[in-house]
Structure 1
Amino acid sequence: MNRDIENRNAVLQGTWLALDTATDAMTIAIFKDDQLIGESSSPSERNHSNRLLPAIQELTKELDLPMRSLNGIVVGQGPGSYTGIRIGVTVAKTLAWSLGIPLIAISSLEAMAYGVTGTKETVGVIPMIDARRGRAYTAFYKKNGDLWTCRVPDGIKAVDQFLDELKDGENGYRIILTGDVDAFMPLISSFREMWDGEVIVDGSPLEASTVGTLALRYGLSRSVADVHRFLPNYTQLSEPEKNFR
């Protein structure tokens, strides 16, 4: 699926809250029209359930924004931590429903990937969230100028097999691996030796500001039609992975 992000003109108006809890970091951001006006992050997944709503209240108070002034909610829908995603999506749904405002869903992996592509040159990005036992929630995105392409959709994959498949395909441009890269450095080192192009390792955390930026680019095309029925993207294991488990 090709997405000419820069040419979209469906800019979200008003004040929007963006949040993501798919990783160990709880991250929130607030945009007014197309400008980031505030953000906050907390590194501990264990406190997401206790800290998310208070953190949102603290940030809106700091910016002198009543909750009723929000025009929409943007949530990272995963994949990633099962508990983390469930907490974030539940809070987002509750706020959208209670305030009667739109809810927009953005892939957490896509936001992680988009956050490290500050260039016009051709670059491939592999976002990674550790899923244990040599597996990761991952995908493959490619940026070529203004064109943003999802080449391999979000899923949970055995990292060694996934990297092998990528190096056997197209080659020769810059690749950035981002997210929970430390858990897979031996495999990444082997991939670097085989890839005919520059390989960059960037452990930058997922930020709600990027989740919100993607929502601004996509506009209401990513809005959730039925807030009550909306579910996180937990992803499904393949049959070999289920057997391995």
Structure 2
Amino acid sequence: MRILTIDTSAVASAALLHFDPADHLRTVEVVANFATEDTRSHAEVLAPGVQSLFTEPVNEGPALDAIIVGTGPGPFTGLRAGIAMARTLSFTWNIPLYGLMSLDALAQQVFDAPRKNDAGRAVGPLAMNDFIIATDARRKEVYWARYSAGAQLLDGPHVGPADGVPALQVFGAGAGLYRDVLEANGAGVYPLFADAQPTAVELGRAAARKIIAAGSLEGAGLLDSTPLYLRESDAKVPGPRKRAL
């Protein structure tokens, strides 16, 4: 199975992945990927970035089984850029489109990461118990969700101040930004994941894990492409003019 994944909930990123849904032991292959470090130039870099993933002509549509887009949570402008791109490609290429919460991408990365001893040897999974994924929501807030040690979503997503995050191990850029607040409330921050952002590669691995477990795209429990903004837009439709008299 060949999938294109796009995530712009934080940085702009896209990836092309290949895997066999019937083979639970085979590693997911990342065929190509790109990601920026800039969180404010999604619209400018996304289209050429996606095009760079393919070696074959894409005018009439590449050989893909699905497009999977990160649905956030994330800021309006960046998130819209990725979802609009995914919907456009799905329609133009006539390829099924699915959504997946972007925080799941970081949860998958934590699940895949080993816990190491002082000698640098892997001694088990990094997350031994429930953990939190937190990303930057700006306005001195974080987007966060709670996961089991197996990276299964238990609660969320939410948006709010860092002091409202449960006292568990916290991973992601939100943890790095508000480390003092989190630790003061009893949460733990893992330094190597304190600036991690969701990317399309990890989103693809999370999607592949669901597809392999289900044995098919249709049974994987993936979402539609509805964005998870979690906040109302700052832009408001003007109301009627007030009478002067």
From the two aligned structures, give the one with the greater helix fraction: 1
Tell me the CA shift for residue 111 of structure 1. 1.1
SS of corresponding position for 2:6: strand
- The normalised TM-score by structure 1 is 0.73
| Counterpart residue number, 2:190 | 200
Tell me the CA shift for residue 134 of structure 1. 2.8
Which of the numbers 156, 161, 164 marks the counterpart of 1:158? 161
Matches within 5 A, 1:5-16: 13=1, 15-16=2-3
Which of the numbers 92, 95, 98 marks the counterpart of 1:98? 92
Which of the numbers 192, 210, 224 marks the counterpart of 2:202? 210
| Counterpart residue number, 1:241 | none
CA contact (8 A) 1:77 1:108 kept: yes
Which of the numbers 3, 13, 17 marks the counterpart of 1:31? 17
SS of corresponding position for 2:62: helix
SS of corresponding position for 1:59: coil
Tell me the CA shift for residue 105 of structure 1. 0.9
| 2:234 pairs with 1:235 | no
Structure 1 stretches of 4+ moved >6 Å:
none
| 2:128 pairs with 1:122 | yes
| Counterpart residue number, 1:149 | 152
Change over 3 Å in CA distance of 1:133–1:52 after alignment to 2? closer
**Which has more radius of gyration?**
2
CA contact (8 A) 1:141 1:152 kept: yes
Provide the aligned length of Structure 1 versus Structure 2.
201
CA contact (8 A) 2:179 2:189 kept: no
From the two aligned structures, give the one with the greater strand fraction: 1
Tell me the CA shift for residue 108 of structure 1. 0.5
Unmatched 5+ stretches in structure 1:
1-12, 238-245
Change over 3 Å in CA distance of 1:224–1:136 after alignment to 2? closer
SS of corresponding position for 2:227: coil
SS of corresponding position for 1:84: helix
Tell me the CA shift for residue 217 of structure 1. 1.6
Q: Quote the Cα distance in structure 1 between the aligned partners of 2:32 and 2:161.
A: 37
Tell me the CA shift for residue 88 of structure 1. 0.4
Change over 3 Å in CA distance of 1:50–1:222 after alignment to 2? farther
Q: Quote the Cα distance in structure 2 between the aligned partners of 1:128 and 1:224.
A: 21
CA contact (8 A) 1:123 1:176 kept: no
